[in-house]
């Protein structure tokens, strides 16, 4: 049994999608980051960085934060969505870390400066939207060569999907000159969105 500490955001939904893909039993503990619940001592004891997602895997008495580390743990626990041998494993980890270092932080900052910042700062908005558009073009080019981001469907797709499902339409509309049609990303979003596990995982948590 796994305890999942999460909220209604892309990083949280990576993990609920993965738990559904793996068919693992889990109980959901919503952490309302809008109300500051990520700073409560009982959550900080699990995640010293005060950010969701985090899990406690009661089967191995292991608590883990950082969504990439959680995805690798669940993949290794179940033998799903992460090849055990190179070169396939290296390619999945390459795109997983690319998501963690690029798509998540850049789309997160773009969203912050567009939707949450108390004043509209054109320099900041342009900086992050332009970088997001460049990243989405990188992804579109890759998906022109492979069906999923690293070949077969993997934890790299699970990590990318919740960000792109929300971010792709907005960035494409803002920077069509860089993103173009983004036809490969659009095809990939549609295919992943049809997966029953993805539909279930994207609806977690219900609040």
Binding site residues, ligand GSH, CB under 6 A: 9-11, 33, 38, 50-53, 66-67, 104
Residue with tokens 């890759």: 142
Residue 162 or 182 having the CB closest to ligand GSH: 162
Kindly state the smallest distance separating residue 85's Cβ from ligand GSH, in Å. 26
- CA 185, 189, 194: angle at the middle one, nearest 5? 155
Residue 32 or 60 having the CB closest to ligand GSH: 32
Residue 5 or 188 having the CB closest to ligand GSH: 5
Terminal alpha carbon distance of the chain: 22
Kindly state the smallest distance separating residue 189's Cβ from ligand GSH, in Å. 19
Cross-strand partners of 28: 4
Residue 3 or 66 having the CB closest to ligand GSH: 66
Kindly state the smallest distance separating residue 129's Cβ from ligand GSH, in Å. 19
Kindly state the smallest distance separating residue 12's Cβ from ligand GSH, in Å. 6
Kindly state the smallest distance separating residue 145's Cβ from ligand GSH, in Å. 26
Tell which residue, 133, 112, 154, has the closest CA to residue 14: 154
Residue 38 or 184 having the CB closest to ligand GSH: 38
Kindly state the smallest distance separating residue 53's Cβ from ligand GSH, in Å. 6
List C-alpha distances in Å: 100 to 38, 72, 110, 180: 20, 13, 15, 24
Residue 53 or 201 having the CB closest to ligand GSH: 53
């Amino acid at each position: 049994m796994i305890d999942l500490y999460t909220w209604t955001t892309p990083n949280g939904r990576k993990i609920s999608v993965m738990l559904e893909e793996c068919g693992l039993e889990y109980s959901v503990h919503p952490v309302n980051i809008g109300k500051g619940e990520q700073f409560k001592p009982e959550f900080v004891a699990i995640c010293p960085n005060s950010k969701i997602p985090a899990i406690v895997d009661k089967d191995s008495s292991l608590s883990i934060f950082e969504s990439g580390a959680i995805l690798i743990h669940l993949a290794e626990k179940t033998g799903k969505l992460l090849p055990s041998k190179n070169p396939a494993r290296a390619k999945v980890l390459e795109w997983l870390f690319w998501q963690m270092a690029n798509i998540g932080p850049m789309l997160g900052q773009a969203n912050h400066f567009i939707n949450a910042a108390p004043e509209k700062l054109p320099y900041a908005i342009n900086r992050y939207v332009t970088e997001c558009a460049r990243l989405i073009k990188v992804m579109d080019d890759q998906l022109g060569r492979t069906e999923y981001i690293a070949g077969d469907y993997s934890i790299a797709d699970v990590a990318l999907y919740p960000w792109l499902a929300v971010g792709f339409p907005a960035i494409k509309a803002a920077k069509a000159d860089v993103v173009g049609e983004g036809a490969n990303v659009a095809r990939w979003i549609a295919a992943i969105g049809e997966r029953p596990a993805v539909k279930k995982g994207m609806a977690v948590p219900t609040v």
